[in-house]
A and B are shown apart, each in its own frame.
Chain A
Amino acid sequence: MAADEFENGYEVTGRDFANAGRVSTAIKDTLKGLGIQAPIVRRVAIASYEAEMNLVMYATHGKIRLIVSSESITLRVEDEGPGIEDISMAMQEGYSTATAEMREMGFGAGLGLPNIKRNADEFEITSQVGRGTRLQIRVYLPA
């Protein structure tokens, strides 16, 4: 492990709409504090916020792990939840299984996963129906 490596974990509670976004705001502040360039901080924060909203909207419980190395920033998102039946459908812009309540908050328009992917240099997703979903994204840091 490099000396400048930073790692931290955050818990997200499903249906806790009042706190939705708190973790991503903390992640953003942490990255800013580490002196990461603003455009990169913004990309990670947007990906994190969309992932956090997904946890709050769909999962019962979730974790976000932030790993910063000298080469990249990694977000590992894991949840206990319903899982995603068809990942290729979920990756399509506009495809959504959101409820009216989610849409009233300005989310659930089927843009979450595509938005996460757009901001990531590497994007991996796996899911088990009835168990949960794992997502890992990486954003490269300039050398």
Chain B
Amino acid sequence: MPTIFQARRVLTLEEVGRLVGAQVYLGKDLSVPVTEYGASDLMSDVLALSKPGMLLLTGLASPQVIRTAVISDLCGVVLVRGKRPGKEILKLAAEANMPVLGTELTMFEAAGVLYSAICTDICTDK
């Protein structure tokens, strides 16, 4: 199941990328504010539960991820566990101007890092 919640502190995509040590595969403008986050490998869950502008963390590196992100008006995709985007993914993402980042962190770790960073009133270590 994905986790989706409203961010307490709004980070830009660039800040998100830095926090998870991401490689930017695609994304000219990373100044976009991220207001929603979700983590899922199940695209039907993303289609059902995501909100416009959400950032998706996923371990699924298939063209369907980009299609889902575009259809759902997401603000970007972070591939976890060191998954590399293939040519088809990058082509689709470039056409739709959809930022694609990648991190070596697992989904759990990446979500944890971001959760601590944005939920400043819940987490005390940030």
Binding stretch for chain B, among A38-46, A65-73, A83-91, A132-140: A38-46
Interface residues of A, count at CB 8 A: 24
Q: Does A58 contact B (CB under 8 A)?
A: no
**With A18-B88, A106-B65 as given contacts, are A25 and B44 in contact (CB-CB < 8 Å)?**
no
Question: Hey, which chain B residues are within 8 Å of A114, CB to CB?
Answer: 48
Any B CB within 8 A of the CB of A13: no
Contact with A along B3-44 (1 / 0, CB 8 A): 000000000000000000000000000000000000001111
A28 to B58, alpha carbons, bound, how many Å?
23
What bracket does the count of chain B residues touching chain A fall in?
A: 20 to 34
Q: Are B64 and A42 in contact (CB under 8 A)?
A: no
* CB contact between B44 and one of A18, A24, A109 (< 8 Å): that residue: A109
Q: B70 within 8 Å of A by Cβ?
A: yes
Using Cβ atoms and an 8 Å threshold, which residues of chain A touch B48? 111, 114-115, 118
Within the assembled complex, what's the spacing in Å between the Cα atoms of A53 and B64? 10
Inter-chain contact B62/A112, CB cutoff 8 Å:
no
CA distance A53 to B67 in the complex (A): 11
Within 8 A of B (CB), among A3-22: 18, 20-21
Closest approach, in angstroms, between the C-beta of A10 and any C-beta of chain B? 15
Complex-state Cα separation, A106 to B71, whole angstroms: 15
Contacts of A111 in B (CB 8 A): 42, 44-45, 47-48
B10 to chain A: closest CB distance in Å?
20
With contacts A18-B63, A21-B63 taken as known, whether A106 is within 8 angstroms of B70 at the C-beta atoms is no
* A50 at the B interface (CB under 8 A): yes
A107 within 8 A of partner (CB): yes
Residues of chain A within 8 A (CB-CB) of B52 are 38-39, 42
Report the minimal beta-carbon distance from B63 to chain A, rounded to whole angstroms.
7
The interface residues of chain B lying within 8 Å CB-to-CB of A20 are 63-64, 67
Q: Is B68 an interface residue (CB 8 A)?
A: yes
Complex Cα spacing A112 to B64, Å: 14
Known: A104-B62, A109-B44, A111-B42. 13 other contacts (CB 8 A): A18-B88, A21-B63, A21-B71, A39-B52, A42-B72, A46-B47, A49-B47, A50-B44, A53-B64, A106-B60, A106-B62, A109-B42, A111-B44
A-B CB contact pairs (8 Å), 9 listed: A25-B67, A25-B71, A42-B72, A45-B72, A105-B60, A109-B42, A109-B45, A111-B47, A114-B48
